[in-house]
Amino acid sequence: MELYLDHNATTPLDERVLDTMLPYLGKLYGNPSSRHSQGRLARSAIDQAREQVAALVNAHPGQVIFTSGGTEANNLALKGGAAGMDATTLAISAVEHPSVVAPARRLVAAGWSLLELGVDSEGRVDPLELGLRVTQSDLGLVSVMWANNETGTVQDISALKVQLEESGAILHSDAVQAAGKLPIDFKASGVDMMSLSSHKIYGPKGAGALIAERAITLEPQLEGGGQERGLRAGTESVATIVGFGRAAELALSELEQNRQQLLELRSYLESRLDALPGVRRFAANTERLPNTLFMALEGVDGEMLLMQMDRHNIAISSGSACSSGKTEPSHVLLAMGVDPQLARSAIRVSLGRGNRRRDIDRFCEVLVGLTGEMSRTHAVIANG
């Protein structure tokens, strides 16, 4: 039977979410922009989802802009936000997701200056460094993720915002991984924009949102329709948005229970791993997402381990990214000062609602067997 331990990549669709979506894939097919009753039904379903998504992060429903996912929300925040600004410098942390890094690079190509905010060995941005950078540059836009997808490291977003108060620079946070796993308060955090994604919270793929203060001028990245207050043109994917709303509602009502269960499960996993030789855990001394464990087994290639685990029907992730056919060690680990050789051994286990202790036992058993096998093979190859 398959054992899924890769919930930061995506989560299975909750059956309760699927049930809520089904009518909108069937009889309720109206276009939300139509004025007849079918259209109005679809519109009110989207309005309800807007309220549910807003509630998950304590935002106002009027601040929710539905998108196709986290990637689009990040693109809209950076490219759309920059378009309305006079400032010409933006800052992002060194551990951002590619969907923040690539739009930032696009802005550089358009003449913006880019500051990279470094992280410490636990993956944290230092708010004081941001404060220093603000005084030295014409900073307009800052993007720092709420929590990292690889390490799970949680940033002190409110402290970062405090550093920006005088300059008036806009703070965006990619909260795709944090939402549903941690309590998030958009209002209290002071963040100006925040990205969310449905498929990371047991909702369907293809929906996400940018939460944005209404006062922020955003340039739409898709034009040709008045949907989402003209900020995101195109007929809404009603069923997907409805599913996102329901997933957000469930994530909020079950947040504490899930968080406790995941924390308990992860500490069980950690206690078992700590008994093994050669295990190095990353970002182990800071606040992390309750479900995430990023580690390396010294001398064992992470990518190979992932493939061997897959042979045993266990789904995990490695820290490596594939770029132009070559696997590169995680840029997150390199930014944390981890040795590139060790970074190549990284694997990520991200737990979910459906996991139990017996899953951890199975994972550890297979891990022990495989690492014995793989380091023996490695030694044979190394010794010729």
Ligand X SMILES: Cc1ncc(COP(=O)(O)O)c(C=O)c1O
Q: Which stretch binds ligand X (CB under 6 A): 66-74, 103-111, 214-222, 322-330?
A: 66-74
Angle at 196 between CA 231 and CA 14, to 5 degrees: 120
Which helix (H) or strand (E) covers residue 191, if one does?
Answer: none
Name residues contacting ligand X, limited to 172-231 (CB under 6 A): 174, 176-177, 197, 199, 208
Angle at 74 between CA 217 and CA 96, to 5 degrees: 130
Residue 90 near residue 304, CB atoms below 8 Å: no
- Candidate list 132, 322, 368, 379, residue with the active-site label: 322
- DSSP 3-state of 144: coil
Structure-token match 């899953």, residue found = 359
Q: Which stretch binds ligand X (CB under 6 A): 63-71, 128-136, 231-239, 336-344?
A: 63-71
Residue 74 near residue 174, CB atoms below 8 Å: yes
314 residue type, one letter: I
Q: Which is nearer to ligand X, 34 or 116 (CB)?
A: 116
Smallest distance, Å, CB 378 to ligand X? 30
Q: Which is nearer to ligand X, 107 or 145 (CB)?
A: 145
Binding mask 91-130 for ligand X (x = CB under 6 A): ------x-x-------------------------------
For ligand X, the binding residue among 71, 155, 173, 291 (CB under 6 A) is 71
Residue 122 near residue 285, CB atoms below 8 Å: yes
Structure-token match 């981890």, residue found = 338
Rounded distance between C-alpha atoms, residue 105 and residue 90, angstroms: 10
- Complete edge-to-edge strand list for the sheet that includes strand 279-281: 279-281, 292-297, 346-350, 317-318
Smallest distance, Å, CB 10 to ligand X? 7
Smallest distance, Å, CB 314 to ligand X? 20
Smallest distance, Å, CB 177 to ligand X? 5
For ligand X, the binding residue among 3, 56, 134, 145 (CB under 6 A) is 145
Smallest distance, Å, CB 230 to ligand X? 22
Smallest distance, Å, CB 375 to ligand X? 31
Residue least distant from ligand X (Cβ):
70
Q: Which is nearer to ligand X, 181 or 199 (CB)?
A: 199
Which token pair is 288?
């992390």
Q: Which is nearer to ligand X, 112 or 146 (CB)?
A: 146
Which token pair is 134?
């603000």
Q: Which stretch binds ligand X (CB under 6 A): 64-72, 270-278, 352-360, 368-376?
A: 64-72
Task: Compute φ and ψ for 214, nearest 5 degrees.
Answer: -65, -25
- Residues near 369 by beta carbon (within 8 Å), at least 6 away in sequence: none
Q: Reply yes or no on whether 364 is catalytic.
A: no
Q: Which residues are annotated as catalytic?
A: 322
Binding region for ligand X (CB under 6 A): 69-71, 74, 97, 99, 145, 149, 174, 176-177, 197, 199, 208
